[in-house]
């Protein structure tokens, strides 16, 4: 399992990724503060404890507000952290982690950055790019974490941020995308977006390994594992096998979590499997074409049903109009009734003769 100090955990959890060079520390962004700290120490015997009969209402976390360095508007992070969890998905995502509160987007101008770096001065290139391209989707970015991450990744590229920082943003963006997966089915459009995001992480990771590989052996094994696993999840099991197998052989140096996952994913790659566990089911990239065909068939059948329903409604409307016209014609063809004789005001006058129809 990836280890970290409390001081580094606090800095990384606030989003200060650019100041950290090790991939081990970058990956623990996916872990809440205190996830690896163990149980809290026992309280002192002399410590004052509340009376058993007193109930303290739990306090709801309040979203921290930020001031945009470009326009001065107030911005808020989306969501809060979840509880710590020992479980990890194969791409090192923590199931209970929010990942949405790491990036803040301005609702007025669209500027987005890590929460810790949001109020720092902005370069001229980033300011021009924000005003020209991001202002039109500012409200969406402040409400949707996916749009906020897109703004953030574009700005990281514009200001030429470190590859570590760009990899972290692209990886967390893929995690947030996965949260939109439906229960008990597959959304092919969403899965295409997930694969595109993972391909972007792979490209950045490969470039980082070529230009500036980590000097620490454990961090290098973590980089290699993530590269191999994302390669397998994008459907290239043959290309992922040697990378994952290398990490599995050095599982003691890679740590418990990464080493165990590397050996498990190596066996899947040997069998040519590209599926992944997610929630209570599995998702396979090779099933995307099948799901797309099913979605197309359902859409075509739905369109046919809509056309048939529209035609039936139009036919019923015409039949009702024809029946109404026929009823009017039938009433017009009947002879009008004979006019009644005016009633006499004399109460002793004889009754008029009956009207014969």
- C-beta of residue 16 within 8 angstroms of C-beta of residue 165: no
Q: How many residues does the chain have?
A: 357
> What distance, in Å, lies between the first and last C-alpha atoms of the chain?
103
Give the pLDDT of residue 287. 87
Give the pLDDT of residue 2. 39
Sign of the dihedral through C-alpha 74, 78, 27, 288 = negative
Give the pLDDT of residue 199. 95
Residues in contact with 11: Cβ distance below 8 Å, sequence separation at least 6, in sequence order = 19, 20, 116
Domain ranges across the chain: 1-34+62-179
Give the pLDDT of residue 214. 87
Report how far Cα 164 is from the mean position of its chain's Cα atoms.
22
Give the predicted TM-score (pTM) of the model. 0.71
Give the pLDDT of residue 11. 44
Give the pLDDT of residue 90. 92
Give the pLDDT of residue 340. 67
* Mean pLDDT (10-residue bins), the chain, 357 residues: 41 39 42 37 48 54 80 86 73 85 93 91 91 94 94 94 92 93 87 95 93 89 94 94 95 91 95 89 87 85 90 89 82 63 66 68
Give the pLDDT of residue 348. 72
Residues in contact with 92: Cβ distance below 8 Å, sequence separation at least 6, in sequence order = 27, 30, 226, 258, 261
Q: How far apart are CA 126 and CA 156, in angstroms?
A: 9
Give the pLDDT of residue 27. 44
């Amino acid at each position: 399992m990836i280890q970290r100090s409390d001081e580094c955990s606090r800095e990384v959890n606030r989003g200060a990724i650019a100041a950290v060079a090790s991939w081990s520390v970058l990956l623990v962004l996916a872990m809440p503060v205190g996830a690896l700290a163990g149980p809290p120490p026992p309280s002192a015997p002399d410590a004052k404890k509340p009376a058993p009969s007193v109930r303290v209402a739990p306090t709801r976390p309040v979203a921290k507000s930020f001031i945009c360095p470009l326009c001065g508007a107030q911005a808020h992070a989306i969501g809060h952290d979840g509880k710590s969890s020992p479980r990890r998905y194969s791409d090192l995502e923590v199931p209970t982690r929010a990942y949405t509160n790491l990036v803040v987007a301005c609702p007025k101008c669209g500027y987005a950055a890590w929460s810790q770096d949001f109020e720092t001065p902005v370069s001229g290139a980033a300011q021009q790019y924000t005003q020209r391209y991001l202002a039109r989707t500012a409200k969406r970015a402040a409400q949707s974490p996916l749009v906020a991450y897109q703004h953030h990744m574009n700005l990281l590229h514009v200001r030429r941020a470190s590859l570590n920082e760009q990899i972290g943003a692209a990886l967390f963006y893929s995690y947030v995308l996965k949260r939109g997966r439906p229960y008990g089915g597959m959304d092919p459009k969403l899965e295409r977006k997930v694969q595109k995001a993972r391909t972007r992480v792979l490209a950045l990771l490969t470039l980082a390994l070529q230009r500036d590989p980590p000097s620490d052996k454990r961090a290098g094994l973590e980089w290699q594992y993530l590269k191999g696993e994302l390669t397998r999840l994008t459907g290239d099991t043959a290309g992922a096998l040697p990378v994952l197998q290398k990490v599995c052989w050095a599982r003691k140096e890679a740590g418990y979590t990464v080493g165990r996952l590397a050996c498990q994913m190596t066996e899947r790659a040997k069998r040519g499997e590209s599926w992944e566990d997610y929630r209570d089911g599995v998702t396979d990239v090779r099933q995307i074409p099948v799901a797309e065909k099913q979605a197309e068939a359902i859409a075509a059948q739905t369109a046919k049903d809509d056309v048939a329903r529209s035609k039936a409604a139009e036919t019923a409307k015409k039949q009702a109009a024809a029946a109404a016209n026929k009823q009017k014609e039938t009433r017009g063809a009947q002879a009008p009734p004979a006019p009644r004789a005016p009633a006499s005001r004399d109460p002793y006058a004889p009754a008029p003769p009956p009207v014969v129809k």
